[in-house]
Amino acid sequence: LLTPGWYDPMPGGFRISGLSYADTEAPDHRAWDCNAPSGQPQRGGVWGALRPGTVVYSGRDVRDVPMSWNRGNYVYIACGDDLFICACHFKDLLVATGDQVEGGQPLGKIGSTGYATGPHVHQWAERQGVRFDWLAEGGYRVVGSGTV
């Protein structure tokens, strides 16, 4: 059962496919790389919002914005109470800047735009500008080989 206010971004579960939130070799990563479970298409699957909110930005990374050049197509959502979520590397975006989104609402199709070694969603959450482990706070349960 998820913590109230958190939603399933990929019905049927998802897989942790890359660097972890706490990876000591990439301390600036501070996010989870996620993808479809094994046996399902890894490119083009739909990823939804972890929480409801307002889309602050939906589009391609911008070279003149610090640290955004590597995101590819991404969505940044203000969820209230100084909580923001960001999902990156989408093949296609399904929401626009200014949209109100519900928890679980599709944001985009999994891709590998920006600086990505393969199709996945680079997902993070931050509160008061500090990133935190959304898997733990949201009550997502990781089992087996990284399946949530």
First-last CA distance in the chain: 12
Do residues 8 and 50 touch, judged by C-beta distance below 8 A? Answer: no
What is the pTM assigned to this prediction?
Answer: 0.87
User: Residue 81 region, left (φ>0) first, then alpha (ψ -120 to 50), else beta?
Assistant: left
pLDDT tens digits, one per residue of 47-83: 999 999 999 999 988 765 555 568 899 999 999 999 9
pLDDT tens digits, one per residue of 75-107: 999 999 999 999 999 999 999 999 999 999 999
CA distance 138 to 5: 8
